A and B are shown apart, each in its own frame.
Chain A
Amino acid sequence: MTASRPTPAVAADHERLTESVSGTLAARNAVEPLSGWQRLHRFFHANPTAAPAIVLLAAIAAFTLIVGGRFLSPFNLSLVLQQVTIIGTLGVAQTLIILTMGIDLSVGAIMVLCTVVMGRMAVDFGLPPFGALLLGLGAGALCGAINGSLVTRVKLPPFIVTLGTWNIFFALNLWYSKSETIRSQDIESAAPLLQWTGHAIDVFGARLTYGSLLMLGLFGLVWFALNWTAWGRHVYATGDDKDAAELAGIRTRRVLQSIYVLAGLICGLAAWLMIGRIGSVSPQVGFMSNLDSITAVVIGGTSLFGGRGSIFGTLIGALIVGIFRNGLALAGVDVLWQQFTVGLLIIVAVAIDQWIRRVSA
């Protein structure tokens, strides 16, 4: 009966083992030399925006060499910023959703629907511009809430939910707009506020639109919320491992719902920037920008598997796409090679993400 109890000799051995083990554990991380490759991996693992930032700087340097000073002029760079304003803003919404291991195919459709709501409210119904703007933003939040409820309550996969609502919101947009464009001059006379985001200030030759400044402000705001509030930590934890987050006391359903509503609201904001950018309201423009927003997020280093990534990565991702398109165009390369390059960037970005995600390289 006593055979299974440790003998004193064995117990003493245990003690020695214990002593040496705590020593070994302490020493393990410090002593073992890291190869250069491992150190690089560790750096990228700790800094998810580092890889896209390097690509962005390299692209800027390369195009400056190829195209010359024309590319690097403040005017041209501010043009790139204007060109990425819509995708960048939708990218913020997309990043939030992808961080929770979801995907939102409906962002573009929500945005177009919101432009139509804003335009019709102001032009056809004569609402004060500010009221029309608020209703448009509210429509975006409502669309997001519908997506969120289907994901959290009916428990459908986000891909399916937003594939469905992408079609539904786009069809509603065609119905509500009667497939008619609202002309720029009508908006200008009824609600100049809606076009305000297209106005610009000149800084040293750079044309900064209020829209692109709003986008940058939005990035800052969401960065703060993700990194400096408990809600932001919960978003990451939920995307990382939903069950674990639940056990840790996080109400993951509430977190997810808030993410979808916020994403919808941001699509509403993108609608305002869209009206400023093109002047008119067209029910046919921009509903495909869902894929461009996913591209920006992925190139920006946010993982499609959730819980990993950063909001400024998405800004960098959108800028990388913008810089490549602009630079290639200035270099006189055929448009089809722009698309080719973007495709290449996506694949490389995801390959790098897979490598970074591996904990031991």
Chain B
Amino acid sequence: MTDETTPVLSARGLIKRYGRVTALDSADFDLYPGEVLAVIGDNGAGKSSLIKALSGAVVPDAGEIRMNGRPISFRNPMEAREAGIETVYQTLAVAPSLGIADNLFLGRELRKPGILGSVFRMLDKAEMRRRATQQLSDLGLLTIQNITQAVETLSGGQRQGVAVARSAAFGSKVVILDEPTAALGVKESRRVLNLIKDVRNRGLPVVLISHNMPHVFEVADRIHVHRLGRRAAVIRPDTHSMSDAVAIMTGAVDGDAAA
């Protein structure tokens, strides 16, 4: 099904070196519309470098990134964000003492219309709260009752929910989630996995970086296995098992042969 459609986000031959360490060794990447693509790989396989290159956090030494078929390059995360790629970092990048609505709009606040906004730079808090409530209820997160509640009073899963809601609200093209369930308990992980499905069901493709095989196999449509700085294989959860994935990840099985 994927061969005839253009990838939303793709990369060819990405190379990134840190001194003598080659983090990305001619890596390829393809994300197709409306899918959840999991990226898995052993520690040090270059997952983070790949994601950082795609989200603008590092500039690759060589290689090409395309968005909807058109070549594109990001010098910093802001440029990637402006292009519609939203990243939820493992550290979440939220301001704990600010409210949920404040956090959703952090860095791109709405101002009041007219002279209050243009001259006095006054924030449109009511509109931001309204939209934040809308966004959270769209994602089934209305368990959070008070939109002005400080984020630090939320549980880990709810915070993750706020971060995902923010990315889904502003990510017009791609949402990248870095280890979203790593710090969560069983119940909260479940909530976040459902959230990932919700985001995909709204038509937004999701890149999920995770160490957790059961989670990956549950939500991913395709799985990109990264090994030694490059894409070793792309497998599907319905044709491959977790053991297959681990075998490719560790190099016990040759990626091309397995896929």
Contacts and interface: CB of A to CB of B under 8 A. Distances in A.
Interface of A: 1-6, 17-18, 21-22, 24-26, 28-30, 42, 45-46, 224, 228-231, 233-234, 236-237, 240-241, 243-245, 247-250, 307-308, 359
Contacts of B152: 359
Contacts of B158: 25
B190 A237 contact: no
Contact of A248 (B107, B145, B243): B107
Q: Which of B140, B153, B157, B244: most chain A Cβ within 10 A?
A: B153
Given A4-B213, A230-B121, A236-B98, A247 B93 contact: yes
Contacts of A17: 187, 190
B169 to A, nearest CB: 13
Contacts of B244: 1
A309 to B, nearest CB: 9
Given A21-B191, A22-B191, A247-B93, A229 B121 contact: yes
A241 B191 contact: no
Given A4-B213, A25-B187, A244-B92, A236 B153 contact: no
Contacts of A46: 150
A340 to B, nearest CB: 33
19 contacts: A6-B214, A17-B187, A21-B190, A22-B191, A22-B194, A25-B143, A25-B191, A228-B120, A230-B121, A231-B121, A233-B102, A244-B95, A247-B89, A248-B106, A248-B107, A249-B77, A249-B107, A307-B97, A359-B153
Given A229-B122, A230-B121, A18 B194 contact: yes
B111 interface: yes
B100 to A, nearest CB: 13
B242 interface: yes
A233 B107 CA distance: 9
Nearest to A236: B98
User: Main SS of chain A's interface residues?
Assistant: helix
A260 B183 CA distance: 37
B207 interface: no
B143 A241 contact: no
B62 interface: no
Given A3-B241, A45-B150, A247-B77, 12 more contacts: A1-B241, A17-B187, A24-B187, A30-B145, A228-B120, A229-B121, A230-B109, A230-B121, A230-B123, A241-B96, A244-B92, A307-B96
Given A26-B143, A359-B153, A247 B91 contact: yes
A249 B78 contact: yes
Contacts of B187: 17, 21, 24-25
B87 to A, nearest CB: 8
A236 B152 CA distance: 14
B194 A45 contact: no
A230 B213 contact: no
Interface string B225-241: 00000000000000001
Nearest to B109: A230
Interface in B135-161: 140, 143, 145, 150, 152-153, 157-158
Sorted nearest first, the 4 A-B pairs with minimum C-beta distance are: A249-B107, A247-B93, A237-B95, A230-B109
